[in-house]
């Protein structure tokens, strides 16, 4: 039997000193809000929070998300963007890889999640697509993602690091 213990911590990840060590640290939509120097500090602190053999998994907005980029600009022009400063889309996090912190896998994903961005540009289309948006938010299907990525681009970049040392 596998036991799962989830810990939620609140604090400034760029200066937080983790007392506990974890097997997995996961976050979404965090890195793109910070400068590269601050990103390095965040990833370094995340590394320090992992047990040996632990994984850091992060999903961030990808630079290949056509609708995401377009409709974020629209929302910012209309002053309706709710997510703060976020001008940096992530192309890769491989620059943060080190000998003892290996980038195991990295891949763009989640093309259909971009349909949510119609909320900022075409509310009627957003409402019509809502059943599809909700379905694919909870049931990721890789073959469907492959089909639509050519037309939509990919919403997110999934990066998986492993602490070796």
CATH of the domain at 27: 3.40.50.150
pLDDT digits (tens, 9 = 90+) for 77-127: 999 888 777 767 889 999 999 999 999 999 999 998 899 999 998 899 999
Residue at 122 is within a domain: yes
Q: Is residue 14 part of a domain?
A: no
- Asked, for residue 117, whether it belongs to a domain, the answer is yes
Q: Are 155 and 110 in contact (CB under 8 A)?
A: yes
Query: Do 44 and 17 meet the contact criterion of CB atoms below 8 Å apart?
Result: no
User: Is residue 109 in some structural domain?
Assistant: yes
Contact between residue 93 and residue 31 where contact means Cβ atoms under 8 Å apart: yes
> Does the residue 3 lie in any domain?
no
Q: For residues 95 and 158, what is the distance between their CA atoms, to the nearest angstrom?
A: 15
Pairing mode of beta strands 50-61, 156-163: antiparallel
Cβ atoms of 59 and 106 within 8 Å: the answer is: no
Report if residue 151 sits inside a domain: yes
In a domain, 6, yes or no: no
Q: Provide the residue range defining the domain that includes 88.
A: 22-163
Please report whether residue 1 resides in a domain. no
* Alpha-carbon Rg for the chain in angstroms: 17
pTM: 0.84
What are 14-53's pLDDT values in tens digits?
776 777 788 998 888 788 888 888 888 889 888 988 999 9
- For the chain, the domain total comes to 1
Closest CA to 149 of 90, 27, 67, 74: 67
């Amino acid at each position: 039997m596998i036991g799962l213990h989830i810990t939620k911590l609140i604090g400034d990840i760029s200066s937080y000193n983790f007392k506990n060590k974890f097997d997995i640290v996961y976050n979404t939509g965090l890195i793109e809000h910070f400068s590269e120097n601050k990103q390095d500090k965040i990833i370094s602190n995340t590394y320090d929070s992992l047990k040996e053999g632990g994984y850091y998994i992060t999903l961030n907005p990808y630079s290949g998300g056509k609708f995401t980029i377009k409709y974020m600009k629209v929302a910012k022009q209309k002053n309706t963007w709710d997510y703060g400063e976020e001008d940096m889309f992530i192309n890769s996090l491989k620059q943060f890889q080190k000998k003892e912190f290996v980038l195991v896998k990295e891949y763009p994903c989640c093309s259909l999640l971009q349909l949510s961005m119609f909320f900022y540009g075409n509310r009627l289309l957003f409402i019509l697509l809502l059943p599809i948006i909700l379905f694919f938010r909870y049931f990721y299907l890789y073959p469907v993602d492959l089909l639509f990525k050519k037309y939509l681009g990919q919403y997110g970049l999934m990066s998986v690091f492993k602490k070796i040392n």
